[in-house]
Chain A
Amino acid sequence: NAGVTQTPKFRILKIGQSMTLQCTQDMNHNYMYWYRQDPGMGLKLIYYSVGAGITDKGEVPNGYNVSRSTTEDFPLRLELAAPSQTSVYFCASSYGDNEQFFGPGTRLTVL
């Protein structure tokens, strides 16, 4: 099992550009999450999903969108990148409220 995979690992965006961060898990987990982590800070929940077709906002959803069309995939969309979205983004998955497994992260810089 690859676990949780994320692409790309690094990305530099210009202000106003758009991109999609990809996340895939092969553990058949029903719950998936997107977090962002700013330097010296903990993880903030952006969006989460409890199953295919079901998504909900977390603590910091503004500027982001998600979709969950399959159990395995949970992409995160940034529509109009802003410098405030410079961060490390982690995708995670779990089976219900059990342990969350994290992907390796995507380091995004918006200039």
Chain B
Amino acid sequence: QKEVEQNSGPLSVPEGAIASLNCTYSDRGSQSFFWYRQYSGKSPELIMFIYSNGDKEDGRFTAQLNKASQYVSLLIRDSQPSDSATYLCAVSRRGSTLGRLYFGRGTQLTVWP
């Protein structure tokens, strides 16, 4: 079983729609959860992080965490063509060396005008 799993996509949504990206993780001891955006040919950049169960909102982005279901998601409201990128879910495990992240394979999102 992989540590962190994401639907590889591609996910395609029209401009203005809500894009929903999902991630599951295998280790119940996981404590920190990150969403990175990676444009083609570029390096990953952090867009959201969440530590506690529930929702966390930042502008058009909402991260949702459900530790009981071992599930974390990212919602992008009012999707824009500039949101077209690969979104990487990353998880930090309790007890592991601080800072170590385990990445999923990423979900490719395309927002068409």
Binding site for B on A (CB under 8 A): 31, 33, 40-45, 48, 50, 56, 58, 90, 94, 96-97, 99-100, 102-105
B98 & A42 in contact (Cβ 8 Å cutoff): no
A96 & B8 in contact (Cβ 8 Å cutoff): no
Cβ–Cβ < 8 Å partners of A96 in chain B: 98-99
A97 & B46 in contact (Cβ 8 Å cutoff): no
Q: Which one of A42, A56, A103 lies within 8 Å of B106 (CB-CB)?
A: A42
Query: What are 22 A-B pairs at a CB distance below 8 A?
Result: A31-B99, A33-B99, A40-B106, A41-B105, A42-B4, A42-B104, A43-B88, A43-B101, A45-B101, A48-B97, A48-B99, A56-B97, A90-B44, A96-B98, A97-B32, A97-B98, A97-B99, A99-B34, A99-B49, A100-B46, A102-B44, A104-B42
Cβ–Cβ < 8 Å partners of B57 in chain A: none
Cβ–Cβ < 8 Å partners of B98 in chain A: 31, 50, 96-97
